[in-house]
Amino acid sequence: MTSPYHIFFINKFRWISSSPMTTVSTQSTYGLALGGIPTTLIVEGEPAIQTDALLREKFGLDPLPNFRVVCFRRQILGKFKWTAWFYGQALRYVARHRTCGKPVVITRNSTLLPYLIGLKKWLGLIVIFEAHGYHGDQNLPDLPPRPPRRLVERFSAYRLIEHLCLNRCDGLVCITRPQERLYLADFVRIPTRFLPLGAHVSGDEVDPNQLPQYERKSLVYIGRLTAHIDVDRILEAIHLCRHSGITFTWLGLRDQDKAEIAPKVAEKGLTGIVQLKTWLPHKEMMEFIRKNASAGLVNYKPTFRSAGVTCPTKIFDYYRAGLPVVASRMPTVEDVMTDGEQGVMFTPQDAASLADALHRLFADPVEYRRMQQAALAAAKYYSWQNRGKRLIEFIETLDP
C-alpha cells in the first residue's frame, strides 16, 4: 500500500562521524523506512559520499529502496562552517522531492525552526520538532533542583527560537516523560507525544545460541566521560566487588578521558579488573558487547538533566545485545525499565547500593537468564520500527 507521507529528517550533524546523534537519526529514520514509509535523512557530509556503503560499514544496515541518506556541506569556501547554508540546501531538496506523499519534516535542530515555519504553508509541510533537551526555566517536584542559570542561558538562541516558533509547528515529540511535562508546564500548546528512543532495527535479533554469558560476570559501560557520570562511585563499587569475579569495561572513552580515569583505577588496585577502551562505530560496539559483556551499566548522577531530559539510549543498546541492565534509579530510567525485570536498579551516588545490585544480578544464573529474556523482549518493544509506527500514529492525529 502506498504511504500517504514522505518523511524528511533534517540533522545538521556530520554523518560520517557515527556520533550518538547521527546514529540515533540514522536508526530512527531507517525504522520508519522498514515500515514502508518513504524516508529521507538529510545530514552534513560530502554530497558525493557513497551512503549505501557507509550504511553497511558504520551502522550494519542494508540499503532499502525507500530509504535515502542525502548529504550537504555546512562549509563554504572549504573552511567556513555556516549552518544556514546547510539548511538552505536541505530545504531546497525537500521542495524539489516532495512528490511521493505529504511531506513531513522532522528535526531536532531548534535553529531550523524559523525556516520551517516560514516555508510550512507554501510547501504544505507537516512540521514536527523532536526535542533532545529543554532550555526553559521550569522544574518539577519529583526532579532534582536546577543549578543557577546564567543570563546567557536563560535567554539563549535556542530558548528564544523555541518560544517564537514551537507553537507554530504541528507537533512536539519528547524523548522522556519529564521532558514532555516540562514543556507543557512552560509554554507548549501544540500536540505532544512521548516517544523514547529505540533499541534496534527489527530483523537484527540476537542469535539465541550467542547470548551474553552469565559466567563471564563482565559489566560494561558504553559512552563518553561527562560531568553527569559518577566515575568515583563506579570504581568504588567495583572495588567492593573485587573478590566476586566481576570485571568492568568502559567502552567509548577519548584519550583524555582515559588519562583522567586510569590513575583512579590504579589507585584503587583495579588494574586487570577494569579496562578502558576508546570509542567504536556503532556496529563494532554492538559486536564487542555481545561477545565480551554479561550486563550493561547506566550510572548517572541525580542531576536535573539526567533525571529530566536525558533518554538513556545505552539501555536500548544493552537490551538489543541481550544484556540485563544495572541502572541508577531515576525518572528517565524508570520510563523504560522496571526494577527486577530487565535488570536491577540502585540508588544514585551510592557505591554500596551499586555493589549490592551487581551481587543481586549475578547471584543466581536462573534469575539472570530470566532478566536477559525480559531485556530481549524490551528490545523488540522498543525497536526503531515499532517507534516508527507510533510516530506515524501521532502524525495521523495531526493530519485528520
Q: What does pTM read for this prediction?
A: 0.90
Note the pLDDT of residue 161: 95
Note the pLDDT of residue 214: 82
Domain range summary for the chain, segments of one domain joined by +: 5-198+383-398, 208-381
Pick from 198, 171, 157: nearest CA to 107: 171
d(Cα 25, Cα 46) in Å, to the nearest integer? Answer: 17
Note the pLDDT of residue 20: 74
Note the pLDDT of residue 280: 86
Mean pLDDT by 10 residues, the chain (400 residues): 88 80 89 95 89 85 94 79 92 92 96 96 96 92 87 86 97 97 97 92 60 87 89 96 94 93 95 93 87 94 92 92 96 96 97 97 94 94 94 93
d(Cα 345, Cα 353) in Å, to the nearest integer? Answer: 9
Q: Are 182 and 309 in contact (CB under 8 A)?
A: yes
Q: Are 333 and 309 in contact (CB under 8 A)?
A: no
Q: Are 171 and 193 in contact (CB under 8 A)?
A: yes
DSSP 25-79: HHHHHHHHHHTT--EEEEEES-TT--HHHHHHHHH-----TTEEEEEE-SEETTT
Q: Are 13 and 109 in contact (CB under 8 A)?
A: no
Note the pLDDT of residue 339: 97
Domains 5-198+383-398 and 208-381 share a fold: yes
Q: How far apart are the first and last CA of the chain?
A: 19
At the topology level, CATH places domain 208-381 in Rossmann fold (3.40.50)
At the topology level, CATH places domain 5-198+383-398 in Rossmann fold (3.40.50)
Phi, psi for residue 221 in degrees, rounded to 5: -125, 130
